[in-house]
Structure 1
Amino acid sequence: MTSLSFATPLAFILLPLLAVPLLRSSTPSISYSWIRLLPADPLSERLAWLIKLLTAMMILALITGMAQPYGGQETVTKIGTGAQIVLVFDRSASMRSDFAGSYMGGGKHESKSTIARQLLQEFIQSRDDDFLGMVSFSSAPVYVLPLTQSREAITAAISGTQTGSKGTTNIAPALSMALDYFADQPLTGSRIIMLVSDGAAKMDHETQLTLKQLFRQRQARLYWIYLRNNNGVHLTESAKNSSESRTPELFLHQFFQSLDVPYQAYEAENPKMLKESIAEIDRLENKPLVYQEKTPRHSLSGWAYAIALLLMLILLPLRVMEARGLASFSTLTRESGNG
């Protein structure tokens, strides 16, 4: 049901002004020798009251316009297919290198960050009903965009990750911030954390426990698109002879596997594999998604001012009639008095 609301309801404090035309006498006082000699004039009395009422209605219409009424804003339940996705994008210095491991600054290949942005933008444009948010990180996380269906906003957010790539890869705070996106969201469709990163950093035991608890509470699944360069470690390798300081990616992968939530890692060591990884996620995550959407509101102030203008146009000839009647009556009384 369409509801009527007001953007500036404070304007209604002017409502007492409605009493001004009703209490004010519209007929000037005229001196006459004997009032009983004056003929009754019910038409003039009715005209005077009509003018008062129309004037009060005009004031009411003006005040209503000043209160900026609007209607049409409703909450509509819609059903689509998709997911609630938070992109967690690595902006550390290593993302400026290409897949061959060389840093940009003279090389002919595009950086991993550039290719990932391009493919992610294609990914979001193909998913109409998804709610997408974004966190970027290097040494610290940055809150970029809340969950939204605005493709323009998320495209701009992804494009904005091309600047300021610096620092180390500190994934844990970024994941924690991304999981908080789901704190006040209804549980519908899939909740996805999509981590796009080329490396990892050490994570202490307390941080691991906190992340495990958050993943279970938020009921989110995790996809890690691991942008491995030619010299990087494979996630399928054995960590038997490795250490967390030398191969943190392997230990991070093992930690993700212990989260007790759906988890999948995709190794992408070239643009083709990256595109295939994103396409695979696109294929998997298309569950029914129930969400609520607010319809745009439309202003009704114009109607209120139009009514006030119409009432004013009606009042003008009535005022002219009243003025002429009073002038004739005044002339008549003066002639009678002189006679």
Structure 2
Amino acid sequence: MIFTNPIALYLLPLALIPLFLGVQRQEPYPSLSGLEPDRLSLAISWALRIAGVAAIAGLILGMAGVALRERTIERFGQGAHIVLLIDRSASMNDTFAGRQPSGAEESKSSAAKRLIKEFVVEREHDRFGVAAFSTAPMHVVPITDHKDIVLNAIDAIDRPGLAFTDVGRGLAMALSMIEEDVLQGSRAIVLVSDGVAVVGRKIQDALRTEFARRPVHLYFVYLRTEGSNSMFAEPAPGVEDTPQALPERHLNKFFQSLRIPYHAYEAENAEAIKSAITDIGKLEQTPLVYNERIPQYDLSRWAYVLAALALGLLLAAKLCERTLKHPGAPSHAA
């Protein structure tokens, strides 16, 4: 426990006063030696004395600002440390049909945001980081267990994006975020993009080196626009098979060449995105040790509640006092 105003604790000895001074009105009696001990009256008397102690102690502890100290608890669960790498290029603002959303239609970005948020909420023990990329990568939120911060960051991914897709530098940033995370556990990058990107040769070599340094699982959710090329399809005869002509296919081939656990998903609608994210959740179920931070908890309100209840009991006892008069006998309190 901690106290925000510890000087008030110097008053705490005052709580012992009811143990030595009765809380009820005293009445004179000639002698009680001839009467049997009244255990009920004795119990009530001590109960009222203890209530007096509780009332004074509660008020003093409330003034002292008693609270439980912030602490960290080590817990165990199933999950992973996941960086959500979100494409924010201009093409993500279109629907899966390749046009601006209208009416009940939603953009690829909006659909991805909605379903990723559901994924974050459902994953009880996972820790998440968020990065975005278009012309340049953007470090949004480091890997954390604060789900509210992660959800707010995801809410921003459907803002208007820029024209280009630099997925290579986006991956480099995601890897640096994983490098900064010191807690033990499985690491994963979930890349959500519509895939129209070419990774330069120098960046490919740098990424190969970085992926070889650390065990990371890579998941690529390719949001395929209607009529665009599949990243799994072989080129037709006579079609130029180059990264510039078929960027989705060559991006997938590059990921396959990294020699890391890699899974690719091709989504042509919101239902397919949900299916891909559900599958990722099933795959990322390794044992995980994580620290749960318990914030400081104010106990002063409960100290005042205790004091109020004790004072209520004392007030009720005081209101119940009666003076009984008998012929030839002194007045006494019941």
User: Contact 2:80/2:127 (CA < 8 Å) preserved in 1?
Assistant: yes
Q: Which of these residues, 125, 128, 132, is aligned with residue 129 of structure 1? A: 125
Q: 1:179 to 1:236 in 2, by over 3 A?
A: same
Structure 1 residues 293 and 100: CA distance shift in structure 2, 3 A: same
SS at 1:236 equivalent: coil
Which structure has the larger Rg?
1
Corresponding residue for 2:91? 94
Secondary structure in 1 aligned to 2:96?
Answer: coil
Name the residue aligned to 2:250: 251
1:30 equivalent in structure 2: none
1:115 corresponding residue in structure 2? 111
In the TM superposition, what are the counterparts of 1:312-323 in structure 2 within 5 Å?
A: none
Residue matched to 1:143:
139
Counterparts of 2:196 and 2:213, CA distance in 1: 24
Which aligned pairs between 1:198-209 and structure 2 lie closer than 5 A? 198-209=194-205
Residues 84-127 of structure 1 deviation map (CA, whole Å, 9 limit, x = unaligned): 010000111101111112223x4652111111111111111111
- Does the Cα contact within 8 Å between 1:221 and 1:262 map onto a contact in 2? yes
- Partners of 1:182 and 1:218 within 8 A in 2: no
Q: Note the C-alpha offset of 1:70.
A: 8.2
Runs of 5+ consecutive residues of structure 2 not aligned to the other structure: 5-63, 302-334
TM-score, normalised on structure 1? Answer: 0.65
Whether the aligned pair in 1 keeps the contact of 2:131 and 2:170 (CA below 8 Å) is: yes
- Paired residue type of 1:171: V
Q: Does residue 1:192 correspond to 2:191, yes or no?
A: no
The answer to whether 1:233 aligns with 2:232 is no
Deviates more, 1:69-78 or 1:136-145: 69-78
Aligned equivalents of 2:274, 2:120: Cα separation in 1: 13
Residue 166 of structure 1: which of 155, 162, 166 is its match? 162
> How far apart, CA to CA, are the structure 2 residues paired with 1:122 and 1:107?
23
Find the residue that maps to 2:120 and give its secondary structure.
helix
The answer for the alignment partner of 1:214 in structure 2 is: 210
TM (norm. structure 2) is: 0.66
**Shift of residue 69 of structure 1?**
11
| Alpha-carbon shift at residue 281 of structure 1 (Å) | 0.7
**How far did 1:71 drift?**
6.7
C-alpha distance in 2 between matches for 1:274 and 1:293:
30
The reply on whether 1:80 has 2:77 as its aligned counterpart is: yes
How many residue pairs match? The answer is 245
Cα distance change of structure 1 residues 187 and 232 upon mapping to structure 2, 3 Å threshold? farther
1:112-150 Cα shifts (integer Å, max 9, x gaps):
111111111111111111100100111111111111122
Give the whole-Å Cα distance in 1 for the aligned partners of 2:89 and 2:107.
Answer: 12
Aligned residues of 2:75 and 2:290 also touching (Cα < 8 A): yes
Q: Shift of the alpha carbon at 1:296?
A: 2.2
Task: Give CA deviations for 1:319-338 in whole Å, capped at 9, x if unaligned.
Answer: xxxxxxxxxxxxxxxxxxxx
Residue by residue, what CA displacement relative to the aligned partner does 1:20-41 show, whole Å, maximum 9, x if unpaired? xxxxxxxxxxxxxxxxxxxxxx
